[in-house]
Structure 1
C-alpha cells in the first residue's frame, strides 16, 4: 500500500467513526505502526483535513473539506439510507462493510442539514419482507420529518377501533407487516401500530415538544437500543 492509498484508507476509517477512536486501533486496522499512524494524521491535518484529538485520547474527523457537497433531496437520502441499512442487515460481511463505508462517505460530503437525516433515520430494517401496505407511509414519513403530531384511526387485532394522537418516531419493516412506533398521548408511553391496521391518518400542524433527536433517544432508551455508530 502506497502512502497515498494509506492516507485515503485512514480518512475512510475516520469517516466510519462518529466518536473518537484511538491511534492504536487505527494502526491495527491499517496494519502500520502507531508512529506511522501519528505521522499520517499530521499529514492529513496539514492538507486541511479537520481531525480533532491527540495521542492517548483518540481522534475524530470533523470535516475533510476535500469533497464538494452532494446534491441529494431528503427523499433521496431516505432511499439511500434505507437501502444501505438493509444491506448491512441481510448480506455477507464484505457487503456489510461496503454499505457501512458508503454510508460514511455520503455523510461526509452532504450538507449538514441532510447529514442529520443519516444520524436520525426515519426507517428501520428489522427483517426481510415484501413491500406491503404503503398507503399511509408517505403521510407518516412527512410527519416524522417535520416533527408533527398525527391522529390515527386504528383497528386492533380484536377488531376494536380507537383514535390516537401519536408523536411518530420510526417505521419498522418486518416480514409481513410494517410497524409504526411513537409516543401515544392516550397511553402516555411508546406504542407500536401495524400500518396495515391503520384506517386513516391525519397529519396535524402541531409540533410535539422537544426535538426529533430527543424523542428518538427516549424511544431507543426505552427499548435499550444502541445509538447509530456504537457498533
Structure 2
C-alpha cells in the first residue's frame, strides 16, 4: 500500500484497510524501519515509502499483467464484497511491485471492464468461502422457487460464480445427496457447529463424477 500510494497514509488509514488495530500498524512500521525498509513519517502525519525502494520483481509477462487487469476488473462487479476489497488490495500490491514501464500497463486505462455490478447475492459469500476452506457445516434457512422455506444442513464444497449470480454446491443432509443452492434464496445462514473434516475432496469428486 505504501509503495502504491501517491500521498502519505496515516496509521488510521492503514489500520482501517487492513482491518487491524492502529497499534498493530505502529508496531509493524517500527519493525520495517528496524529492517532498514525506508518508511518515513510519524503518527498523526502519515507514512511514505522513500523513492527508489522496490519490492522483488514478480516477473509477469505483458499478457499476464493484462489478464490481471481484466480479472480484477471483473471481480469488482461481483456481489461478494470481501472479494471485491481483496481484488483492490491485489491490484495495489502488484502495482507497487512492478517497475514503472510495466506499472503503466495497469494504470493507463487501455483495458476496461464495463457494465453494472452483478446483483447482490443476499447471503454473505465470505461465510460460504470460509465454510468451504474450514470444512464446516452450514445451516441454511432456504426458500425454494415456490416460496416454501426449509432448514437445510449442508456440507459446502464449492462456490460457482456465474456472470450475474452465484451457486453454492453442497452435500445436503436432508436429501442425502449433492444439491445446488442459490444465495439469493437463503433467508439466513450460520455455522451449524459441526465439521466434515477430510470429506471435502471426496465430496467434490462425487460431484464432478456425476456431471
- TM-score bracket for the superposition, by shorter chain length: 0.3 to 0.5
> TM-score, normalised to structure 1's length?
0.41
Q: Greater helix percent: which structure? A: 1
* Length-normalised TM-score, structure 2: 0.45
